[in-house]
Structure 1
Amino acid sequence: MTNSALSLDRVQQLHPLQFLSPSAHQQLLAAAEQVKVSKGSIILKKRNTLPTTCYLISGQVELRHSFDDRKPLHANDQLACQPLEELVREGASVRALEECVLLRFERDLIAYLSTLTSDSDTYAVVNIEEGVDYLDDTLIDDDYQEDWTLQLLDSPLARNLKPVALHRLMALLERLPVKRGEQLIQMGSHADYFYILISGEAALSTELHGPFRGQTIELHEGSHFGEEALLGETLRNATVTMTSDGMVGRLNREQFLEVFADSLMPVLSEAEFLRRLNQLEGPCTLLDVRFREELRNDTRKQVLNIPISRLRSALPQLDRSTTYLLSAQGDQRSELATCILRQHGFNAYLQATPVDSQKQSA
């Protein structure tokens, strides 16, 4: 198999290469190295760090975490669009189950091309003349559906994700086919997963006495749900039901925190927290989201108290020019509050717990 046999379409399907410009795809195609691997060969060894990113183009491999934990991966599988090194946990290995072809790119080249943007790749320059309709109906695809990843990345939840976190999201996401009428989340149940709607449609039915007053919200490709109850470790306050066949991706709480914690719940050390609290980095407000009864013996001054259950309704009254510092005493509620605030465009940080401080010191 030669480079000429590798199509540009295939390169554009690989993650995260699909986010690069068309000219970058051409450069990657020219620089790609294709390697034929014989059956039984070890492709990635345990804790193996390479300067290249590797994709499976043909054949089948085994993702081996332990003797009892092995998963096959075929080049036609959807997960094969991810780099092999992102599909295995630290300490796992990849072995060829049959003769395979791998595609390798230099990491430095991908990093370099991701910083480049060509206007000619993105925009069409047109001289506008008054009275002329430039919209060509033949160019409109009525069946077009935007890629779910683009919808997700445009959401407040994922807008500030760093590339490494996005890679982890794609690697950790468990994909499940779902049927019309299937309940993904039931009101009043314990939270176990965060969900992304990869394909299909669903309906989210809210509590009658909750912040959305019993409203039913339509969910489409790229919609996400379930993170608030997961973070707050509370019962679900809505029901989500599929209104068509489709596919969802899900993360458990540990996986969700691994991917989103840095962007949605940044933690400040005790020293930095006090520095900001003393207004040394600009205006700041100490926010405690516990119930008022829990603050009876609190001796701190100038603490803004908004119970987590009322935070959403209070957002329009909050000051966007200040930084909100979330008290560590609020435990999971402070985590959830930080997440909500940052998704709505506020600058918010968590106070480090004693455990966090020990980790930072180490």
Structure 2
Amino acid sequence: MSTLGQRLDEATRGLPAPLAVVDLDALDANATDLVRRACGVPIRVASKSVRVRHVLDAMLARPGFAGVMAFSLREALWLVEQGVTDVLVGYPTVDTGALHDLAADERAARAITLMVDDVAQVVIAQRAAGPGAHPLRVCLDVDASLRLDLGPLSTHIGVRRSPVHTPQQAADLARALADRDGIDVRGVMFYEAQVAGLPDSGPLIRAAKRASVADLARRRSRVVDAVHQVLGRQLELVNSGGSGSIESSAADPVVTEVTAGSGLFVPTLFDGYRAFAPRPAAFFGLDVVRVPAPGYATAFGGGYVASGPSSRSRLPRPVEPHGLALTSREGAGEVQTPLRGSGADKLDVGDRVWFRHAKAGEVMERFDAVHLVRGTVVERTVPTYRGDGRTFG
């Protein structure tokens, strides 16, 4: 049986590198597994982790997936133009031009829900919208981090995201927004980054994740109930989770939907999870342009470093052929990427090396097209967001 590298080599022979590919068999298997893990709870696709409109459309056409979580309001407006009917913007925005366009477009205003955690964000949105605007739909972003009150050793585990943490804070924000004309509070969102985005790399981390899941299971229902009491009606959406925490979020009866994106492509940051078996689906290929010394080979391009803390975990990883590693002195280079290891002695000028990125969607910003491979055949070549002339980050 041919190796992954051999399959990708055969499928892309004659195509110029650097190039990006998605293995459709792995993508399909990952999508099926996400639906299984969600146990009937609809999955909202995180576009930030995909950034290929064709793949987003393909996921939305599958049973078990419903709606998109966008990372930009301008992106959300564009997706609605392309026919997406349900877009939750995952982050607050103060883009007054995009807010004006949203409020002026009845179809967009019905399809898009803004994320807020501060009245000031809504004040900006309403000023941008102007008089006679269509109502704006909003979702409250509730901080899902774990806060341990240990006296002088009190600690915060998770990202510093929303200032809204307690049921009372959520109720106060809901009340302030409900009193404003033209604002429709649709629901609440909880993103537990310290669970969904943190690999199971050790006993302390696993213990922190268990404690966070237990805390959130208690607090999430209290927040939902507090907001419900203020609004006097049930919430339309309670969003939670990510690719690494689908099971715990979907198990909570108050959750109406979960979000996943990275679990489709499975970048290297998701290799250490126990919740699911990683099936890498997205790769990029570089061509060897020189062999400077025994045990070394140099590929053209490759400086696709992921966002986040500056560490080796954010660097791309050579995976095919085996026995290759980045050099500590140069890492992944803007124009050239030196490789070393036992696999380098088997490489000749013109050979292709396949890499995985540390984060799922970011690598697609580097390419204007992605080749969709099944077996040893490119079934289709489709534009990325960049290829569609759209950059939102």
Bin of the TM-score, shorter chain as denominator length: under 0.3
Point out which structure has higher relative CO (alpha carbons under 8 A, 6+ apart).
Answer: 2
Query: TM-score, with normalisation over the residues of structure 2?
Result: 0.21
Structure of greater Rg: 1
Query: TM-score, with normalisation over the residues of structure 1?
Result: 0.23
